[in-house]
Amino acid sequence: MFDGFYKVDYQAGEVAGRSVMHVHGGRMLGGNSAFAHVGSYQEAGGEITGRLAGQRHAADRRFRALYGDDNAEVDMRGWADGSHYRFESTPVQAPGVVLHSRMTRLDEASLPPAGVVGAGGIVNGLYSVHIRLLDGLDGGLTGVMVLHDGRILGGDAFYYYLGAYSSAAGRWKGEIVNQEHTPGTSEHPVFGGHEVGIGFSGHCDAESAAWEATALAGKRSLRLAADLTLLHPA
């Protein structure tokens, strides 16, 4: 069954990249350090078809857009290939071009039990997340998070996040485990090579959220802060 949580490797001409993607019930939500990806799909006769749209959420122009368009849409066609799924996609803006991608299922074994969400709790959906180090340290991460009924799935081009949260009355708290799906030591030396546990608490409203946290990266204890913006309710 196609439903699950995946790392996605993709290439379009000279532009290559990676992202994470949560697939469930006909909807696809994911992204990476600069772009969110939102789409829908159908399964029939061993083939998966659908449409996926991109949306830039980080202004860093080191991250190149596919086909020069930050908000490109692609029509996609895919199939199972052993333990992977392979796709050939055609940009709506450039119908003569083919994007090749491969989806590899990520291990969700460390996903903790879902928390409880009450009245005034954080809204389900796809969020951009910008994480920064505190205490005068340089560094941080940008990525995406899917929040749904007390569970967190997310990541970027190097890492994936699994977690759980509880929320009510404009507050939320929870835990996240940050793990590598692709070695990222050279890009993010603080987080690279480690499974990072993060316990957080903060505030939320109908469109955004924030938290502060203590993270354990190897033998180092780090204080972090994050800002989340709701991109697509779910």
Domain holding 34: CATH number? 2.40.128.380
Q: Flag whether 191 is in a domain.
A: yes
Q: Are residues 161 and 93 in the same domain?
A: no
Structural domain for 155, as ranges: 125-233
Q: Flag whether 112 is in a domain.
A: no
**CA-based angle 73:75:76, to the nearest 5?**
125
Q: Flag whether 72 is in a domain.
A: yes
d(CA 11, CA 1): 25
Partnered with residue 19 across adjacent β-strands are 8
Q: Are residues 94 and 131 in the same domain?
A: no
Count up the domains in the chain and report the number: 2
Q: Flag whether 115 is in a domain.
A: no
Share of the chain above pLDDT 90, in %: 63
Domain termination site, one of 77, 105, 133? 105
Candidate ranges 62-71, 79-88, 102-111; pick with highest mean pLDDT: 79-88
Quote the pTM value.
0.91
d(CA 74, CA 15): 15
Residue 131 has pLDDT above 70, yes or no: yes
Backbone angles phi, psi at 67, to 5 degrees: 60, 20
What's the average model confidence in pLDDT over 158-168? 95
Q: Are residues 161 and 95 in the same domain?
A: no
> 208: alpha, beta or left, given left = phi > 0 and alpha = psi -120 to 50?
beta
C-alpha atoms less than 13 angstroms from C-alpha of 105 in its C-beta half-sphere: 14
Q: Are residues 145 and 228 in the same domain?
A: yes
Range with the poorest average pLDDT among 53-62, 156-165, 199-208:
53-62
d(CA 119, CA 98): 46
